[in-house]
């Protein structure tokens, strides 16, 4: 009798920023393409049971809540969580080290290796390298979200390019904000940045640059994103709600609809990160007609093409010049908006789902072949 093919997918990060967005946009197109008789979904049932794709009859939802990068998630393999599974797909590098089956991993970036100073302790740095090294040694294939990330995995982990597949994350349809509804802090014109307050997001440099030009522009700077609870938090900014007498405002976490409203009403979006594996927010800003300025390093030039004003994120003067140019030049903003709407179309559609399914189905087919010969 033909052996059933079974895949497990770790979706604990389904509603987190970044990786969660990748999963939310990918799963609806991916699940129907997976040639598996059983698909075990690991995560929080409250997060997943309402998703339309979860109605696929092959899917079994399994409650699984250990904290990311915790001892508990490593203990799961020893407790038999993956028993009978042919392939485990982990959409981040936090793989279960005791799992012995076939493994597929998505790597979004290797910031932990390229900029180890962004992690808070020697133990965190050791553990990140241990996990990433295990991925490099054991994964059947590695999905990379950009050519930049693929090149970094080759550079820092020695993985051959033939073992990696670049799958640009899809840009899904965002929530719609109600006409006429403006977000909090928007009584005056504002510039926007979006991202959790982590060290590699480089917010201190952006704030310093904004402070240097604040008297030359009427804008506020609004920072949307969670402020604490990360291994690489920018701790000096934790708990801050406003700075510079209210000219810089931190919103904390906002809903999807609120985020869309912030994009739509901003005069410009600025991302000063020193390291990004892909950079969802720049494309989300473009999709909502918001002109973009961002760093000229890591994956961002690859993702933005000619549709963004690029600057050196380590040079405060360059960031300041970009702020002034966007704040004071409406015609230039309109040019970037038009280019951005064209650029974002490159990331629409189901190309990521198609490529990911090809990799998954190839590994599952090999499992069948190995079973035949044993």
What's the burial of 78, exposed, middle or buried (CB within 10 Å: 0-12/13-18/19+)?
Answer: exposed
60-105: per-residue pLDDT in tens? 999 998 998 888 889 887 787 888 899 999 999 999 999 989 999 9
Distance CA 145, CA 266 (A): 27
pLDDT tens-place string over residues 354-374 = 999 999 999 999 877 666 655
Q: Which residue intervals of the chain bear CATH 3.40.50.2000? A: 6-170+349-373, 190-347
Predicted local confidence at residue 282, as pLDDT: 95
Residue 17's pLDDT band (cuts 50, 70, 90): confident
- pLDDT for 232 beyond 80: no
The whole-model pTM stands at 0.88
Percent of residues, the chain, with pLDDT higher than 90: 68
Residue corresponding to tokens 């969580």 = 81
Q: Which CATH number fits domain 190-347: 3.40.50.2000, 3.20.20.70, 3.40.50.620, 3.30.70.100?
A: 3.40.50.2000
Q: How far is CA 67 from CA 77, 106, 172, 173, in A?
A: 15, 18, 27, 29
Domain 6-170+349-373 bears CATH identifier 1.10.1740.10: no
List of E strands, the chain: 6-10, 38-43, 59-63, 87-90, 102-107, 141-144, 164-166, 190-194, 220-224, 242-243, 248-252, 268-271, 292-295, 308-311
pLDDT, tens digit, for every residue of 148-166? 999 999 999 999 999 999 9
């Amino acid at each position: 009798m033909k052996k059933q093919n079974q895949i497990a997918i770790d979706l604990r990060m389904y509603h987190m920023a970044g990786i969660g967005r990748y999963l939310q946009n990918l799963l609806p197109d991916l699940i129907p393409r997976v040639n598996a008789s059983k698909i075990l979904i690991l995560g929080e049932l409250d997060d997943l049971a309402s998703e339309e794709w979860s109605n696929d009859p092959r899917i079994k939802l399994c409650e699984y809540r250990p904290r990311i990068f915790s001892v508990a998630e490593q203990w799961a393999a020893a407790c038999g969580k993956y028993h009978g599974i042919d392939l485990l797909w982990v959409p981040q590098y936090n793989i279960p080290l005791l799992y012995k089956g076939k493994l597929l991993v998505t790597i979004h970036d290797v910031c932990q290796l390229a900029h180890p100073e962004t992690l808070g302790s020697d133990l965190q740095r050791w553990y990140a390298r241990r996990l990433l090294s295990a991925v490099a040694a054991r994964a059947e294939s590695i999905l990379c979200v950009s050519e930049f990330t693929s090149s970094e995995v080759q550079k820092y982990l020695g993985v051959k390019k033939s073992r990696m597949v670049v799958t640009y994350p899809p840009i899904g349809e965002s929530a719609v904000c109600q006409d006429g509804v403006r977000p909090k802090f928007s009584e005056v014109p504002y510039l926007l940045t979006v991202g959790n307050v982590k060290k590699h997001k480089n917010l201190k440099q952006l704030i310093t640059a904004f402070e240097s030009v604040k008297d030359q522009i009427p804008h506020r700077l609004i920072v949307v994103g969670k402020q604490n609870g990360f291994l690489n938090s920018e701790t000096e900014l934790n708990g801050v709600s406003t700075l510079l007498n209210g000219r810089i405002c931190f919103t904390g976490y906002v809903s999807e609809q609120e985020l869309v409203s912030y994009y739509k009403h901003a005069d410009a979006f600025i991302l000063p990160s020193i390291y990004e594996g892909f950079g969802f927010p720049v494309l989300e800003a473009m999709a909502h007609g918001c002109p973009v300025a961002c760093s000229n390093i890591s994956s961002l030039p690859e993702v933005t093409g000619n549709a963004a004003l690029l600057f050196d994120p380590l040079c405060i003067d360059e960031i300041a010049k970009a702020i002034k140019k966007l704040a004071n030049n409406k015609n230039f903003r309109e040019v970037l908006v038009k280019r951005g709407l064209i650029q974002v179309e490159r990331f629409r559609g189901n190309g990521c789902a198609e490529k990911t399914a090809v990799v998954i189905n190839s590994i599952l087919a090999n499992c069948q072949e190995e079973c035949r010969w044993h």
